[in-house]
Amino acid sequence: MVTAPFTVVRSRAVPLLIPNVDTDVIIRVERMMSSDPDHLAKWAFESIRYDSSGAPREDFVLNDPEYVGSEILLAGDNFGCGSSREPAVWAVMGLGFRCVIAPSFGDIFAANCLTNGVLPVSLPADAAEQLAAGARRFEEITVDLPSQEIRLESRCWTFDIGRVHKLMLVDALDEMALAIRHLKTVERWEIRDHNERPWAWTQGRQAGMDLGEHSP
C-alpha cells in the first residue's frame, strides 16, 4: 500500500550490480511469515549479506556504513526475478529504498514496487554503469519523477513510466482505491459477459461436492 508521495529523491545510491538477483535472495521464504518492515529489513539479502556464522560480510555493499540512509538501489539485470513474493519489495522498503534502478526487472517484482509506491526505473546497462561509478564515489543521484529524469552531476537520463502509475506515485494514490472507482463499469462488463460467455462463469459449482476421478 502506498503511504507517501514520490516526487524527487536525492541520495547516495547503493551499487548492487549482480545479475538475476531473485526474490528468494531478497527475502527467504521462512522470513515472510511476518510483514513487519524491521523484521524483513533485518533478513533482506541474508544469504549474501551475512556469513555462515550470521555476521555481516564486510565486503558486501549493504553493510558499508558509507551508504547508510541511501534511498536509491542500483541493481543488476533482471533484478527481482523469480517468486512473486511481495515481501521482497517490503524488505527493500524496510532497508529505506524508495527507488530501484536496473537495466531490467522481474515483471512481477516491478508491479509489486509500483503497488507499494517504490519507483522501479529501467535504464540501459551503460547508464547503469555510469551511475554505479558515481555511486561508488559516494556521489548523490537525483531521481526526479515529475520530469522523469535521473541526474548525476551534469549528466541526465530520462526514463519511461506509465501515466497512471506516475500519477499514483506522485499523489500517493492506492491502486485498490483506483480500481474501486471503476467498480460500476466492472459490474456492467460482467453482466454483459455473463450473457456472452456463460461458460466462463461457474454458477454450476457447489462447494464441497464429490470430486470423483477423471482419468485422462
Please count the residues of the chain.
Answer: 216
Nearer to other proteins, 75 or 141 (CB): 75
Residue 108 near other proteins by CB under 8 A: yes
Nearer to other proteins, 68 or 198 (CB): 198
Residue 213 near other proteins by CB under 8 A: yes
Residue 215 near other proteins by CB under 8 A: yes
DSSP for 14-75 reads: EEE--TT-BHHHHS-GGGTT---HHHHHHHTTHHHHB-TTSPBPTTSGGG-GGGTT--EEEE
- Residue of the chain from 3, 4, 33, 69 that contacts other proteins (CB under 8 A): 33
C-alpha distances out from residue 59 to 16, 88, 96, Å:
12, 22, 20
Helices 163-170 and 107-115: angle between axes, nearest 10 degrees: 40
Residue 186 near other proteins by CB under 8 A: yes
SS3 state at 9? strand
Which of the residues 5 through 24 are near other proteins (CB under 8 A)?
17-20, 22, 24
Residue 54 near other proteins by CB under 8 A: no
**Cα Dmax for the chain:** 69
Nine-digit cell at 159?
Answer: 526514463
Judged by the rule CB under 8 A, the positions of this chain that interact with other proteins are 1, 17-20, 22, 24-25, 28-30, 32-33, 35, 47-48, 52, 76-78, 81-86, 89, 104-108, 111-112, 115-116, 162-165, 175-176, 178-180, 182-183, 185-186, 189-190, 193, 197-205, 207-209, 211-216
